[in-house]
C-alpha cells in the first residue's frame, strides 16, 4: 500500500472516530437521562428542580411511539421510525468519510444526528417506545436524542446556507475562466 492510500485510510479512520465520539456522547447522555427519569418519576409525573423555572421548564416522564417531539404518537408507526433510524444511520456511515474535511460544522451536525437516531432506535428496540422528559413551555416534550437530531438538522441547514455563496462563486469563477480561455 503506498503512502497516499495509507494517508487516505488514516483520514477515514480519524473521520469515523470523530463521528462516533460525537454520536456516543449523545447516546450516553440520552440513555443516562432517560434511565434517571424512568427510575425516579412515575409515568406522567413532572418535577421542577428550579421552582423559578416552573412555568417555563420542567421534567416530565412521558412515552412516545412516534417521531421527535411527539409527532405521530399513538399512530402505531413506531416500527417505521425504527427502520428509518436504521436507514439514516447507514446513510450517515456511508457518506460521512466522503465529506470535505474542512466542514467541521457539517461533521458535527452528522454526529449529532447519528447519536440522536441511535439513541431513539435503542429505546424503540429495547422498551418499545422513546422516553421523553424535557418540557419547555407549551412545546412538545422531547429528549436528548430528539435535541441532537434537531440541532444537527439546524446546523446542516446553516452549513448549507453559509456555503451556498461559496458554491455560487465557484461556478462564476469557472464560467469566467472558460470565457477567458475561449477569447484566447
Question: Which residues are known catalytic residues?
Answer: 132, 146
Strands 130-136 and 46-47, by their bridges, are: unpaired
- Provide the pairing of β-strand 130-136 with 57-64: antiparallel
| SS3 state at 46 | strand
Q: In the block, which residue shows the cell 466522503? A: 98
State how far the Cα of 14 lies from the Cα of 104, in Å rounded to an integer. Answer: 13
- The residue assigned the cell 462516533 is 20
Q: Counting Cβ atoms within 10 Å, is residue 150 exposed (0-12), middle (13-18) or buried (19+)?
A: middle
Cell numbers of 60, please?
416530565
CA dist list (Å): 158 to 28, 60, 68, 94, 103: 26, 31, 20, 22, 12
DSSP 79-95: HHHHHHHHHHHHHHHHH
Amino acid at each position: 500500500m503506498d503512502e497516499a492510500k495509507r494517508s487516505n485510510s488514516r483520514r477515514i479512520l480519524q473521520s469515523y472516530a470523530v463521528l462516533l465520539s460525537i454520536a456516543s456522547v449523545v447516546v450516553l447522555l440520552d440513555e443516562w437521562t432517560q434511565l434517571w427519569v424512568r427510575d425516579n418519576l412515575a409515568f406522567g409525573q413532572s418535577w421542577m428542580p428550579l421552582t423559578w423555572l416552573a412555568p417555563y421548564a420542567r421534567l416530565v416522564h412521558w412515552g412516545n411511539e412516534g417521531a421527535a417531539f411527539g409527532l405521530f404518537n399513538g399512530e402505531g408507526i413506531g416500527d417505521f421510525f425504527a427502520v428509518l433510524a436504521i436507514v439514516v444511520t447507514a446513510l450517515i456511515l456511508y457518506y460521512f468519510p466522503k465529506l470535505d474535511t474542512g466542514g467541521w460544522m457539517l461533521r458535527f451536525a452528522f454526529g449529532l444526528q447519528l447519536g440522536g437516531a441511535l439513541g431513539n432506535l435503542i429505546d424503540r428496540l429495547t422498551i418499545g417506545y422513546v422516553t421523553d422528559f424535557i418540557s419547555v413551555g407549551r412545546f412538545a416534550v422531547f429528549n436528548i436524542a430528539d435535541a441532537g437530531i434537531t440541532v444537527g438538522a439546524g446546523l446542516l441547514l446553516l452549513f448549507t446556507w453559509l456555503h451556498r455563496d461559496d458554491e455560487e462563486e465557484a461556478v462564476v469563477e469557472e464560467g469566467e475562466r472558460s470565457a477567458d480561455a475561449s477569447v484566447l
